[in-house]
Amino acid sequence: MRVLLTGGAGFIGGHIAEALARRGHEVVVFDALLESAHGRGARAGREGLVVADVRDRGAVADALRGVDAVCHQAAMVGLGKDFADAPEYVGCNDLGTAVLLAEMAGAGVGGLVLAGSMVVYGEGRYDCPRHGQVRPGPRAVADLAAGRFEPRCPDCGAELTPGLVAESAPTDPRNVYAATKLAQEHLAASWARATGGRAVALRYHNVYGPGMPRDTPYAGVASFFRSSLARDEAPQVFEDGGQRRDFVHVRDVAAANAVALEAVLERAAGSFAAYNTGSGDPHTIGEMAAALAAAHGGPAPEITGGYRLGDVRHVTADSRRLREELGWRPEVGFAEGMKEFAGAAALRAVPAGG
């Protein structure tokens, strides 16, 4: 199978390209090599790579020639700096996806695997002892500033028990990035219905592993902690460190993309499906920071009590559907993966102002 892989030179994309090549597929790597993600000089020594923006219709049309399916990873990620980033997020993520899908429709390419995200759910699932399953609203600034981080029942104010979110849960994006990721899914579903195409979105949990970009406001929390340890500084853990997440290794995410691509063209015409993609082994942010610090040899994390508006308290999803329907299984355990990541030398630094 010939696969167009957008964002294929990035952190996750690079691992997907390797996974596909190992399985005998031909990969066309397409990447804008933005300095904000790759650093200065990223174009040097790059051969066999289509260097272009996914919003460039002509470049996308050329890259789609002879392609059987598309794996769409190109996107701006993370919360960014502030709301001033919103136009760039919408342009990269949503306009870029619309251009790609329009050109796929014109070229008759009928299979798509999209990099989705668990952030589309907002807060995860919560159970109230009195009212059952509830969906708390956004956390108030006054509560966060006072160190009251746990959401309460919106009906009675009781303490809640966090649980796993299924794909059938309502979506509730709570920051610009989350809104753009949900819009990508809606665009993919519209494309599938209009063209008879077949689309799958993999809603990634917190992906980590070798090759994560660092020293950029768009990096993930694991990368921030790893960079601090590399400078012999204590990782700075926001809130009280009790935020629950599912840390999934990048090689497992790459494998999920490979099996999804191999299955997507066999799905019903006009179909769209979303799959949670996580390890199935949730941990708190504090536990992750402690595991990295221990594997690195210190210093120990510091709990700061700080917070970021737009962050959710707990979000961990049930990934059984991906396991049962596509046969994917994560192979890298939490302790093993954090130990490897703590010693990884392949973190790419993005220079200040880049």
Write out the catalytic residue numbers: 177
Specify whether the CB–CB gap between 333 and 23 falls below 8 A: no
Task: Name 192's Cβ contacts closer than 8 Å, sequence gap at least 6.
Answer: 112, 198, 199, 270, 271, 272
> Measuring CA to CA, how many Å separate 123 from each of 152, 164, 243?
12, 11, 11
Task: Name 61's Cβ contacts closer than 8 Å, sequence gap at least 6.
Answer: 103, 106, 107
Tokens of 191: 């494309």
Q: What DSSP element (H or E) covers 291?
A: helix 285-296
Residue with tokens 């807060």: 123
> Measuring CA to CA, which residue among 8, 1, 184, 190 is closest to residue 105?
190
For residue 86, the one-letter residue type is A
Q: Return d(Cα 216, Cα 227) in angstroms, integer.
A: 11
Specify whether the CB–CB gap between 36 and 350 falls below 8 A: yes
Phi/psi of residue 277, each to 5°?
-130, 90
CB atoms within 10 A of CB 247: 26
Phi/psi of residue 236, each to 5°?
-95, 110
Q: What DSSP element (H or E) covers 284?
A: strand 283-284
Specify whether the CB–CB gap between 251 and 209 falls below 8 A: yes
> Measuring CA to CA, how many Å separate 110 from each of 66, 73, 268?
12, 17, 11
Number of separate helices (H) and strands (E) present in the chain: 12, 19
Tokens of 92: 């990269």
Q: Return d(Cα 86, Cα 64) in angstroms, integer.
A: 29
